[in-house]
Structure formats: C-alpha cells, structure tokens
Amino acid sequence: MILKRIPVGQLLANCYLFGDADTKDIVVMDPGDEAERIISYINDKGLTVKHIAITHRHFDHVGAVAALEKVYNAPVVEKNFSVGKHDFQIIKTPGHSPDGVCYKTGKIIFTGDTLFYGTVGRYDFEGGDYGKLVESVNMLLEFSDDTIIYPGHGMSTTIGKEKLNNPFATIKGDK
C-alpha cells in the first residue's frame, strides 16, 4: 500500500496519495494547493495517477485539481472506483458542505472535513448544516472501531477513538 499525506496551502489541507505498491497506481485525494510540490513527489516516486478524488469543493481541497488533471490526464471521480487492488466506495456525508463525501477502502476512510481527530468540520459556511453533519458523523461511527480515519486537516484517528472522545459522537461503544 502507498499512503503519503502532504499538508498543502495556508490551511494545511491534507492531500493524500494512496495506491497500490505493486503497480504504483494511485489516487490523489483532495489536491488543495501546491500543485508543483504534489507533482514533484509523484514524479520522483515514479507513481501513476489513475484518479483524482475530492471530498468537497471548498477551495482548500480543490485548488490544484486542474493542474493535476492537465499533467496526468486523470479523471476526477464521482462514483465508486478502484486503484490497483484497492476498491473505493463513496459515502455521501453532507453537513460541512452539501456535496461532502468520504472515500472508504478496506478499513480506511478519507473523511475530508466531515470528521477530524476530536471534532468535526465547520458547519457555519454557506450550505453547511449542523443536523446533517451530526447524522453523517454518526453514520461513519457505525464502522468498526479499528477503521482508520484520514481527515482533511490534522492527524489521523480511528473510529474507536472518536466514539470515546469526540463530543459530536452520539453513538458510544462498538456496534
């Protein structure tokens, strides 16, 4: 498995490169800024961009999309997809934004600004909705405790840690 987190831009949005170590095929998740830096890393490692995925359309998550599309001729995915042996399922998670989605593969979920370590994304932006965000978070908390969360900002966490420590979690314990 390939997994590289690259915090980009003034808001340090997490851009993730995730893929298959055997084929070196990757998806670029939330390329928010610093296209040259992302492209340099990809090229230096000899990786092949198969897809670009975004969790929502806020500027700090999409700023480098056009540059990566141009360089790699890779599509922006809007449905379930695969990269090598990794199958991704899109989960609709509105609340931070109306178009919010998460991407799940195995016991990994890329949550964008839906769920962070110890908190959730802001819901006071245009199109944000507190009630929908809480519903989305609690839907994610139904996955197993050992599921790893890779958020749009900050460090990774697990479903189990968030059930215990996140004040927005209304589900407690493993289901």
Do 95 and 166 belong together in one domain? Answer: yes
Domain encompassing residue 154: 88-175
Within-domain flag for 32: yes
Residue 1's CATH number: 3.60.15.10
- Please say whether the beta carbons of 44 and 18 come within 8 A: no
- Predicted pLDDT of residue 139: 96
Residue 168's pLDDT is what?
A: 87
State pTM to two decimals. 0.95
| Domain final residue pick, 19, 48, 78 | 78
Which of 55, 78, 101 is a domain's end point? Answer: 78
pLDDT at residue 118, as a whole number:
95
Exposure string of 135-168, with b = 16+ CB inside 10 Å and e = fewer, is ebbeebbebebebebbbbbeebbbbbbbbeebeb
Per residue in 104-131, is it b (16+ CB within 10 Å) or e — as a string?
A: bbeebbbbbbbbbbebbbebeeeebbee
- pLDDT per residue, tens digit, the chain (175 aa), is 999 999 999 999 999 999 999 999 999 999 999 999 999 999 999 999 999 999 999 999 999 999 999 999 999 998 999 999 999 999 999 999 999 999 999 999 999 999 999 999 999 999 999 999 999 999 999 999 999 999 999 999 999 999 999 998 875 444 4
AA letter at 61: H
SS (H, E, C) 86-133: EEEEEEECCCCCCCCEEEEECCEEEEECCEECCEECCCCCCCCCHHHH
| pLDDT value for 171 | 53
Burial degree of 70 (CB within 10 A; 0-12, 13-18, 19+)? exposed
Out of 78, 100, 134, a domain closes at 78
* Count of structural domains, the chain: 2
Same domain, 101 and 62: no
